[in-house]
């Protein structure tokens, strides 16, 4: 089931190929303040459907993760990063974390939230 997502003002819109089975709440300093609940996809499962110039990017720390947000309304939208599941960045295996709070017509309360303790892991 394809899912559509949009930021508050609608200038950032994207689609993913399927609904997430769970979402991730991360404790890192960025996620704790920006408040996203993350669903992870391969790049080919994600499609930005609004103009790329509406997307702003925040880089910090090692600049490994591109944190995207709406240039107009400021909503946290998605992030592009290498896969970190082994603990090291795997640049051959990029992934997109999308903020599941932006999904339209999706019952976010129906999926479990997994907490990853990045503040202390990384």
Return residues touching Zn ion (CB under 5 A). Answer: 7, 9, 11, 70, 72-73
Q: How far is the CB of 12 from Zn ion (least distance, A)?
A: 5
Task: Tell me whether residue 9 or residue 32 sits nearer to Zn ion (CB atom).
Answer: 9
- CB of residue 74 to Zn ion, shortest distance in Å: 7
Q: Supply the DSSP symbol for 21.
A: S
User: Closest CB to Zn ion among 24 and 76?
Assistant: 76
Smallest separation (angstroms) from Zn ion to the CB of 78? 13
Measured CA to CA, the distance from residue 102 to residue 6 in angstroms comes to: 5
Strands 23-26 and 66-70: unpaired
Which residues are CB-contacts of 18 (< 8 A; sequence separation ≥ 6)?
1, 2, 3, 45
Closest CB to Zn ion among residues 15, 90: 15
């Amino acid at each position: 089931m394809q899912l559509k997502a949009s930021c508050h003002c609608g200038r950032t819109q994207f689609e993913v190929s399927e609904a997430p089975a769970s979402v991730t709440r991360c404790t890192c300093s960025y996620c704790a303040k920006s408040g996203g609940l993350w669903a992870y996809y391969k790049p080919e499962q994600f499609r930005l459907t609004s103009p790329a110039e509406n997307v702003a990017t925040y880089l910090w720390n090692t600049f490994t993760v591109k944190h995207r947000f709406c240039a107009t309304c400021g909503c946290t939208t998605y992030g592009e990063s290498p896969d970190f599941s082994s603990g090291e960045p795997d640049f051959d295996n990029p992934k997109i974390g999308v903020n599941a709070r932006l999904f339209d017509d999706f019952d976010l309360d129906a999926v479990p939230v997994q907490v990853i303790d990045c503040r202390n892991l990384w």
